[in-house]
Structure 1
């Protein structure tokens, strides 16, 4: 497989990175800011189950860590597995939240751009929640 086209979608948040990580890394909080998981997540062992427009998805998160990593693997009913790299890193008194979006094989350029816009909306929602 060749390297996929990638786009890093990021936003600055005026709040300590540890507080943002603590909130954003809890699966039970994700429906409040990650619209793709708006239906909520139900824990199933080490995985979390989400119902969405593409059907049932199984989500596995990286273990909690001291590095701001919230990577997660999403497995759809079709067995397609998508790796999502999500990082929160210090930036002065605030932080940067960065999501690496990959253009999957067969994904049209317009859909990739729409996905990037969707991720940005979610990051803006997280920013609004964290800066209240």
Structure 2
């Protein structure tokens, strides 16, 4: 088995880590900040279906836990499985959110860098939502 190149993308959020975890571990909230799932998630038993440019992806989330683990396994329609390791850990009175981005075998340097920028943008959106009043976005 080959070890893939990896990079860890992280952001600090000024909100209690339990609140951050609770928000992130609720699949219905993911489309609010995870742009790859912006078209929404539909529950299907233990999995969620996310429509996307490559067809419907199936997403299986880690069960609720006390460790801040929000991992999710994405299975694309072509059968490719992508493990997304996502963690929330205490950082003082706030939280640190870390996403481990693995470089898939067929990815160019540019694609890998682009994916990293995409994840960073999503984490910035998450921070914005969770640091706003009551964790709700303001419209208008």
Are positions 1:65 and 2:90 aligned together?
A: no
| SS of alignment partner, residue 87 of structure 2 | strand
Name the counterpart of 2:116. 116
Q: Which runs of 5+ in 1 are unaligned?
A: none
Runs of 4 or more consecutive aligned structure 1 residues displaced over 4 Å after TM superposition: none
TM value normalised by structure 1: 0.99
Instruction: Report how far residue 116 of structure 1 moved.
Output: 0.3
TM value normalised by structure 2: 0.93
Q: Which runs of 5+ in 2 are unaligned?
A: 133-140
**Deviation per CA, 1:67-114, whole angstroms, max 9, x where unpaired?**
000001000010000000000000000010000000011111100000
Instruction: Measure the CA separation in 2 of the matches of 1:7 and 1:35.
Output: 19
Instruction: Measure the CA separation in 2 of the matches of 1:70 and 1:95.
Output: 14
Name the counterpart of 1:25. 25
Aligned residue pairs: how many? 132
| RMSD over equivalenced CA pairs, Å | 0.5
